[in-house]
Amino acid sequence: MSTTLTPEETRSDVTPVERTSGGTTYSPRFDIWEDNDETILYGDLPGVTPEDLEVRFENPVLTIHGKVSSRHNDIKLLHGEYGIGDFHRTFTIGEAIDTERISAELKNGVVTVHLPKSEKVKPRRIEVTCC
Partner 1 sequence: MLTTRWQPLGTAWPETKRLQKEMEQWLRRVGMNDPRRSAQSVYPPLNLWEDDNNLYVEAELPELELTDLEIFVDGDNQLSIKGERKQPERENGTWHRQERSHGKFSRLGELPQYVDSEKVTAELKHGVLTITLPKRKESKARRVEVKAN
Per CB under 8 A, residues contacting partner 1 are: 5, 7, 12-16, 26, 29-36, 39, 42, 44-49, 71-72, 75-83, 108-110
**Which residue's CB is nearer to partner 1, number 35 or number 100?**
35
Would you tell me how many other CB atoms lie within 10 Å of the CB of residue 115? 25
- CB 84, min distance to partner 1, A: 8
- CB 107, min distance to partner 1, A: 8
**Which residue's CB is nearer to partner 1, number 47 or number 116?**
47
Greatest CA separation for the chain: 82
Residues 6+ apart with CB under 8 A from 16: 24, 25, 26, 27, 83, 85
- CB 36, min distance to partner 1, A: 7
Residues 6+ apart with CB under 8 A from 15: 9, 26, 27
CA distance 17 to 96: 29
**Which residue's CB is nearer to partner 1, number 108 or number 129?**
108
CA distance 53 to 43: 12
Strand partners, 116: 38
**Which residue's CB is nearer to partner 1, number 77 or number 128?**
77
- CB 15, min distance to partner 1, A: 6
